[in-house]
Amino acid sequence: MISTFFNPAPPCNVAVVSSSFLRFKFIPKFPATVPLSSLSTVSFRAKTTVNRSLCAPGDASVQTDFCLLKKREFVFSAALPFLLILHESVEGFKAEAAELDKREVERIREEVRKVVTKGRAPGLLRLVFHDAGTFETNDTSGGMNGSIIHELDRPENKGLKKSILQEAKSTLDLIRPVSWADVIVVAGAEAVSICGGPSIAVDLGRLDSEKPDLEGKLPEESLDAVGLKQIFSRKGFSTRELVALSGAHTIGGKGFGSPVVFDNAYFKILLEKPWSSNGGMSSMIGLPSDRALADDDECLRWIKEYAKDQNVFFEDFQNAYIKLVNSGAKWRS
């Protein structure tokens, strides 16, 4: 219970309230039964006796203005404790919602971890890239919306499967329905982490698309550096982010170091250019688009930076991943 005391000092030549002070008690309840929109019209009434003998003659309009001013101050002062309580309650609600979101993320991670292995990590990370990679800034089409589930029969998605995550999603849906987009995003983050990469915190609440995205939106493996920069620019990514995201090829069968270790070996090998040698398996390392990065001066700047400092690569990859999985996403309220 909160008590508010008012003891206004009587100004000279102004009507005086006979009570020495007024006392109001507020017993706040939340949620409030009174709409917020009506707060400005709430009135407080007190029985008063006016001693008019203390009111000196003068301009009536001045006295009226003064009385209105004091009334406004009185009403505001009376309502202020309630507004502060309401503010604190709303802030508490926000904190509780944030905590709920953390628990939901952890619940999804627990289920996803049961099916994520180092051997499956490259495919899960590729699933993220192929779902989010359809985003275009010019019309905000595509993006991380779970549409990849409807696109698995396309040639560029050969080898991708939803069955790996189906069990995790089915279990989660029994507790609370979760979108394919959210499950895939969390699976990609866990794939990076289980292979020794950075821990990536992602937001949840994405909605799934009920239809596939348009075809031809993913970067082709045969693109040169100029073409890659152009298409990534249309998706809202800088050259630095392009190079950082390309570092995901450090795991998998592209030939950049260990296929199950997420590190900066990708960039070190790009600098060595082993495909330049004649014959041997070295000519099979990387895709044409990977090799093209090492021949571009702007890309080469970041390749050298990441090859020198793995921590810088981890930080940039983490930021670029979050940007990627938020691109084009539609969120539930």
pLDDT value of residue 259:
95
- The sign of the torsion formed by the CA atoms of 36, 41, 46, 52 equals positive
pLDDT value of residue 106:
86
Number of alpha carbons in the 13 Å side-chain half-sphere of residue 272: 16
Rounded Cα distance, 253 and 78, in Å: 70
Per-residue H/E/C for 135-171: CECCCCECCCCCHHHHCCCCHHHCCCCCHHHHHHHHH
Q: What is the mean pLDDT of residues 256-269?
A: 96
Q: Is 249 a catalytic residue?
A: no
Q: What is the mean pLDDT of residues 70-99?
A: 55
DSSP 4: E
pLDDT bracket for residue 36 (50, 70, 90)? very low
- Given a cut of 50, is residue 38 above it in pLDDT? no
Number of alpha carbons in the 13 Å side-chain half-sphere of residue 211: 4
pLDDT value of residue 275:
86
What's phi and psi for 274, nearest 5 deg? -65, -20
Give the highest mean pLDDT range of 30-44, 102-116, 175-189. 175-189
Give the highest mean pLDDT range of 61-75, 98-112, 220-234. 220-234
Percentage of the chain surpassing pLDDT 90? 59
| Catalytic residue of the set 87, 130, 150, 249 | 130
pLDDT value of residue 123:
95
pLDDT value of residue 172:
92
- Given a cut of 90, is residue 32 above it in pLDDT? no
The b/e string for 43-77 (b: 16+ C-beta within 10 A; e otherwise) is: eeeeeeeeeeeeeeeeeeeebeeeeeeeeeeeeee
pLDDT value of residue 48:
41
Q: What is the mean pLDDT of residues 80-92?
A: 55
